[in-house]
Amino acid sequence: MNETLPSSGILEFKVAFEQRYARVWCNPARKIIICELLTDYVPIEDFKEVFTEIGELVKSGDYTKFIFDKRALRAFHQPTMEWYFIHWKKEMLGYGVKTHRKILPEEKWFEKMVQIAKAQILAQYPDHIIHQLDIAYCDTLEEAILA
């Protein structure tokens, strides 16, 4: 896979792997992994499979930043977000991934659902790691890469 991410030419990312629901890009020099969801809904087992593979990529390199491009989503699934937030992020923090950038769909209801779900997760899991992470929302991939 020798595709490169379309951009202004300064950012050289390569496809690490692609599955039905996601395309994952990486740039070891910048220590960044990007997960671009490709469909409007990802079943939880398939989501876990994608993120388990991303985890193996993290473990095999020296990555510190993860960009999650969710713009294709049109459905919100609380158990998936909970697994991602509580389990996956915590494990990846142990491998040095502290910076998280997210690109949400344009629909305002989606952003509101993320806020509600995040508040519920933080209340339910008081030993969360959010204070150890640098999390920000961006509008474009370039902004996420540079932020």
Q: In the β-sheet with 32-37, what is the strand arrangement from edge to edge?
A: 14-18, 22-27, 32-37, 65-69, 99-103, 134-138
pLDDT of residue 9: 39
pLDDT of residue 14: 92
Query: What's the sign of the alpha-carbon dihedral 86, 88, 91, 95?
Result: negative
Tens digit of each residue's pLDDT, the chain (147 residues) = 445 455 543 468 999 999 999 999 999 999 999 999 999 999 999 999 999 999 999 999 999 999 999 999 988 788 888 899 889 999 999 999 999 999 999 888 777 877 887 788 778 877 788 889 999 999 999 999 998
How far are the Cα atoms of 10, 34, 56, 86, 93 from residue 104, in angstroms, in the given order? 24, 14, 25, 19, 22
- Rounded Cα distance between 98 and 100, Å, is 7
pLDDT of residue 10: 43
For residue 109, give both structure tokens.
């209801």
pLDDT of residue 63: 98
User: What structural domains does the chain harbor?
Assistant: 14-146 (3.30.750.24)
Question: What pTM did the predictor assign?
Answer: 0.88
